[in-house]
Structure 1
């Protein structure tokens, strides 16, 4: 059981444009389960610089970072772990006596899932998106041996830059794209968004692929995933990414690694 909240309680938090309850419920469940004197709370902000100053000034132990802050926060931090430096995208900040070090546990989670789902590295990849999370996913793919791919992004500058960095092609739209592995790293299909009911890739593209990876974590079953399963395709879910990256954040903040059974219980509780 977690100790009563006191002046000694460690505070962890998240920053996102559209905060969800997943991280709050996941972390707080494990604090209670393991008897750790920690508390986790989700926030949004229109003042990123002020929020980062607050993390440092108030001694907040850790902060998860989500869209659209993953790249914008970099210049406000003291040190980048290689997992964040190579990608140029941050999803985790650890505060040690006022020193803010950034990590990217999204990268670690995606690399683990590609291995556990045994996705063949010879697969041709079509990745839709070019933001901070897209960078983490794309680098994990490249580093796992996926050398043949295309970045599909409306933002020409960001899309071309990411493609060039990886040795992939770039296209502004899905026209003529063919791939064995489809990866959505956009808000399409995200709960609460304007495109919640839309497919990130058309049904005809799904029919021509063997695996669909939707990084959107909420809802747990996006329109893309439902269509892929309807067509009998292998699916990797954003829910899996969310759990694995949150676990690695938990370990960075607390120094404690829960058992697989505890993680499974925390995930079930977080999804309510």
Structure 2
């Protein structure tokens, strides 16, 4: 049984441009199931330095970081663990006695999913995106043994992300033939609930039909326009909610020092998805 909230309760939180309930429900469900004296709350901010300063000053144990703060928060932190330093992208901050230490659990989640879904190492990919999440996804793809192309409208960021791995960049999708046998990966806000492009499908139908698998890292909604199209066209999919669960569990372990078992994770994920 989880203790009643008191002055000793440890607070964890998230910072996102568009806060959702998924992480809040998953973490709090696990605290309850494991009897841990923690509580989790989602926030947004228009003053990132003040928000990060609050994490430090108030002794907030952990802070998940989502778009658009994954790179902007870096100068405000004390230490970057190798996962965050390599990617220059942060999705997790752990408060170690007033020192803010950065991690990236997105990479861990994506790497695990590529293996779990049996993505062949000979597969070529086309990745859309150039932000912090794209950096984590791209590193996991390359470390899995894949090669491919980065597509990003932002030329400076797109070239920089692709150059980290010696890969080609292009501003827009080319002909559908580029999708033949490819893993199509969306690491942009296209299709994200509540956004200006919530109805957008990151790859067109003729691309999806030629692909070997479709991976959308957008977590909300769980069924994005891209994933719906892929299912309609009979393509295997990897969803952003899968990434959300795995990366959140790794955050949970960093914050609490406790690793839930598979049944507890499955129950928490089901609870989070129902909210």
Q: If the length of structure 1 is used for normalisation, what is the TM-score?
A: 0.98
In structure 1, distance between residues paired with 2:56 and 2:240: 30
Structure 1, unaligned runs of 5 or more? none
| Paired position in structure 1 for 2:261 | 259
| Paired position in structure 1 for 2:94 | 94
In structure 2, distance between residues paired with 1:221 and 1:28: 24
Q: If the length of structure 2 is used for normalisation, what is the TM-score?
A: 0.97
Counterpart secondary structure, 1:101: strand
| Paired position in structure 1 for 2:156 | 157
* Alignment map for 1:2-13 (pairs within 5 Å): 2-13=2-13
In structure 2, distance between residues paired with 1:197 and 1:45: 25
| Paired position in structure 1 for 2:145 | 145
| Paired position in structure 1 for 2:126 | 126
Match of 1:194 among 190, 196, 213: 196
| Paired position in structure 2 for 1:67 | 67
In structure 2, distance between residues paired with 1:204 and 1:196: 20
| Paired position in structure 2 for 1:204 | 206
Counterpart secondary structure, 1:200: coil
Q: Using the TM superposition, give the Cα deviation of residue 176 of structure 1 relative to its aligned residue in structure 2, in angstroms.
A: 2.7
Q: Using the TM superposition, give the Cα deviation of residue 231 of structure 1 relative to its aligned residue in structure 2, in angstroms.
A: 1.2
In structure 2, distance between residues paired with 1:248 and 1:165: 25
Q: Using the TM superposition, give the Cα deviation of residue 121 of structure 1 relative to its aligned residue in structure 2, in angstroms.
A: 1.6
In structure 1, distance between residues paired with 2:46 and 2:197: 23
In structure 1, distance between residues paired with 2:263 and 2:167: 39
Once the two structures are overlaid, the 10-residue window that deviates more, 117-126 or 169-178, is: 169-178
1:225 pairs with 2:224: no
In structure 2, distance between residues paired with 1:181 and 1:213: 7
In structure 2, distance between residues paired with 1:56 and 1:176: 49
| Paired position in structure 1 for 2:20 | 20
Counterpart secondary structure, 2:202: coil
Once the two structures are overlaid, the 10-residue window that deviates more, 18-27 or 190-199, is: 190-199
Which stretches of structure 1, 4 residues or more, deviate above 2 A after TM superposition? Answer: none
In structure 2, distance between residues paired with 1:194 and 1:220: 17
